[in-house]
Chain A
């Protein structure tokens, strides 16, 4: 079976727009969490988020929702990065699998705001079709003139990893030759209200695995990756970042919001991803943690790590870039996959910032505060979500 490889990446995040700015931000340990400007937070308990400042939508996408604008921007970057001309893709052989948690929620809010005003009738036909979930992959499909399979996966905050897994599966089936996969989510009043209602938001900063961690911080962003089979990539002389060697998904089926206390789903997802890649746990060099900064997630994820890696767990470096970006929802796992392939390529792993006091229940090597030089042959990236979704992907260096 042909390996599936990643040949291009595009990223939008609160620490930098574009692959290089994103990477520089991560390696510098830059904090992307700031006061939110896109909506009024005065009625909320907290006011900060990983908001992307100074994003300029591409010409022709101004009317679209921010989720689509992000995705089109990142997809164009990823295709150029892969050495492909976006206007001349093999249309029927190119597909898209995008993840999202709350789709065009800022546009939905605008509709909610004006729904009862007399002016709504006039703009309803323009606005509503653009605000529904299925419009997002379609906007991307239209912008890139795709004719292959176009999918939107809504497994909440793990959707980026699910998108990567589905894209790889379609490539293996040979119904397509090129896949765009990733996740996109804008920060919004709806997202902030939701996480706030669950008392999940930390007021100041995101401190994954720290003893004094106070919760997650909502963020926004997008990452798109270009995936191909190894033979097609080699044939066209494409640059190869890494192999998407395995993807494992699972569901806790335990509780709508709380992880299984022993991390049952998380362990299964990691084991499945490693098995799919024919890799022993001992061979893993770096783990990009889900690491949201909530008391429950970080403790459970640490427990899951110990079950998968056994006595080795303490020696396996892992970090959470959510400490810098906040939780970018479905974009999180896509951005983390980009961080992993860049780490594989460049021999540096990003830190967990805001890490001050070790927690006896989280006693692994979380790469505190400083990026670290590390030869990464194999990286694992975890993502979990509301609904019990658990996922892991394995990224492997290509010789």
Chain B
């Protein structure tokens, strides 16, 4: 079976809207949290959030096209454009073509995206009558909308799929993309994860879980979640296809493991679930624990989930550093998997790591790393009361590809 490689990365995040800005901010351990004032959250008056404020929308907002005002759709299109350009697959503008001739598929992890539009549609129908509802609202009132708009806007017609699995959806989308390439659906697939902060996002969270002040978000060490938003898109490609077109190979996707756990996160032995996901991904990648140079942890400051992951890490990968990026990005739900995978690609490319917050005396930003980063593991675990799913992904440096 052919290998799947990553040839492009695009990021729209609270810490930066290009892969370079994103990575630099993560390396510096920035925590750009702010009071959310854009919408009203009845149960958490003005909570802290990792909100995107300086993203320049690639498309003009038009009143007769309500989707152009949807932040998650804009994030998705922005990140997808960046990723295609990064991979050298941007459409050839000179002849006015929307595509550059390559068959490209799209798969997104997206669960809460556009939920606010669903609520608006429903409330409009109830308050003003169904006949007043804007006909242009419904097609985008769906978690699928960002992904569909990416295909439509960029003319990517091989296929388009959306996984709404919750917090693991981003990594699950990467795995779906790999399977799609193996199955011959397309030689290139954009795999992304997207989510935006809305009043709905906060409805789900209990105020006790949310942090009181920005500095207090310290996954693994302290209780307290910051909610976030963003989008990352990876260009996944059949290795032969990438080599043929002389693309720069950033990393290889070499293993994936996932499981569902029927028992709630607080039950006995649930740490076996993240253990299973990590071991499965490593087995699929044919790597041993000793070879894993870094783990991008899922921990977000929820004590139950953090404890499970810490226990599983202690058992499977006791010596690898495990930076918890949600200290900077917030809990971005379906976007987290691809944001973390993008960080992993950057770590492999730049041979550097963000500070490891689990260790109290974490290495200062820019400190020398103990060994080269060739293999990274990305974790995405959901321990909420809605779902308990556990996914892990192994990325590996391209020079290891034979």
Interface residues of A (CB under 8 A from B): 43-45, 92, 96, 100-103, 105, 108-109, 111-113, 115, 121, 124-125, 128-130, 132-135, 137-138, 141-142, 145-156, 162, 166, 169-170, 172-173, 189-190, 192-199, 249-257, 264-265, 268, 272, 386-389
Contacts and interface: CB of A to CB of B under 8 A. Distances in A.
A361 B113 CA distance: 39
Contacts of A198: 135, 138-139
Of listed B111, B155, B167, B183, residue having the most chain A CB within 10 A: B183
A43 B138 CA distance: 18
A268 B158 CA distance: 9
A15 B364 CA distance: 66
B271 to A, nearest CB: 14
B46 to A, nearest CB: 18
Contacts of A272: 185
B118 A190 contact: yes
B152 interface: yes
B66 to A, nearest CB: 11
Interface in B184-208: 185, 203-204, 206
Given A45-B131, A108-B119, A169-B183, A151 B165 contact: yes
Of listed A147, A156, A193, residue having the most chain B CB within 10 A: A193
B148 A388 contact: yes
B126 to A, nearest CB: 7
A256 B148 contact: yes
A253 B151 contact: yes
Given A132-B166, A253-B152, A386-B138, 20 more contacts: A45-B131, A92-B276, A112-B119, A113-B126, A129-B386, A132-B111, A134-B165, A134-B169, A138-B387, A146-B260, A147-B273, A149-B259, A150-B387, A154-B144, A156-B144, A169-B182, A199-B135, A256-B148, A256-B152, A387-B151
Contacts of B134: 197
A132 B130 contact: no
B137 interface: yes
Interface of B (DSSP majority class): mixed
A155 B145 CA distance: 9
B161 A134 contact: no
Contacts, number: 219
Contacts of B121: 190, 193-194, 197
Contact of B206 (A125, A169, A189): A125
Given A138-B389, A148-B260, A155-B162, A197 B138 contact: yes
Contact of A250 (B143, B159, B276): B159
A130 B147 CA distance: 24
B382 to A, nearest CB: 7
